[in-house]
Structure 1
């Protein structure tokens, strides 16, 4: 359970209690060195700084979809952050002076707790369904929703920025 901070707003209905409408399936799990929220890095930059690697374990029915993934140097991983609250629509981050709408944050607490991670592909074993990656910022056992190749030519925007932030 999470503790709501002053100035935070909850949704009227918790999305976790609503009937599913997307029929999303998990295609595997992340084998991460992180077993507690306290130890888990806040983002991929911090995860890389630890020097700890991770793996994605793909379930057997989806392994053929890994064919040719090794052409990519980096991959985009979409994960399901199921431990996060889903009914928090306005959040007050510890580092922020004022509350912010969930869609202006990278927080895992959101109506659909989908995580977005870009990792370096270190090794791929299609038969075993194992993708070795350079780092990850989620807990061990986190479900994987999807994997896509990262294309620097179309996915990177060097001029991208967040107003009022040091993040670029």
Structure 2
């Protein structure tokens, strides 16, 4: 689709400056959802833009087959959750965020609309009860599929020197 806005082949509404592509016919890999996430948000408009914008306590329910993988998870104060934004568009390669003057490449954004809608959040682990985790710091819709859980290590995961050019100018070409 051109970058003039309108409706894409799959019925997705596009803003001026957005661009879609035809997706490949087949997938390259498979994955297993290991559980589901319960949050207070059922509409995208109500969902926070990132997990630091809310104090809501959310519930992560790990499927029974994967509960043994939670052994020792309580040793971490924070976890990295990877989840599948199953209700997001997958064919946008150029997007126009509401806060931006122009379009941006999908891979320069944290938007859930992307070819593989994998999202991540660093969450605070409040408590574990069997296969259920209570966490704070999520930004996804109720019922979102869970892909993975990893401990957050401040010593290796934190990058205080990291910067993002929020102007959108960057050094690459269009």
Q: Are residues 1:96 and 2:105 paired?
A: no
Q: Are residues 1:114 and 2:118 paired?
A: yes
Match of 1:69 among 47, 70, 73: 73
The count of residues paired between Structure 1 and Structure 2 equals: 157
Per the alignment, residue 4 of structure 2 pairs with none
Per the alignment, residue 14 of structure 1 pairs with 23
User: Structure 1 length as normaliser, TM-score?
Assistant: 0.88
* 2:161 aligned counterpart, secondary structure: coil
Q: Are residues 1:130 and 2:132 paired?
A: yes
**1:64 deviation in Å?**
0.4
Per the alignment, residue 154 of structure 1 pairs with 156
2:37–2:145 Cα contact (<8 Å) kept: yes
Match of 2:30 among 23, 28, 45: 23
Larger Rg: 2
User: Structure 2 length as normaliser, TM-score?
Assistant: 0.86
**1:41 deviation in Å?**
1.0
Structure 1 alignment gaps of length 5 or more: none
Select the structure with the greater relative contact order (CA < 8 A; seq sep ≥ 6).
1
* 1:112 aligned counterpart, secondary structure: coil
Per the alignment, residue 145 of structure 1 pairs with 147
RMSD value, Cα? 1.3
Per the alignment, residue 3 of structure 1 pairs with 13
**1:2 deviation in Å?**
4.1
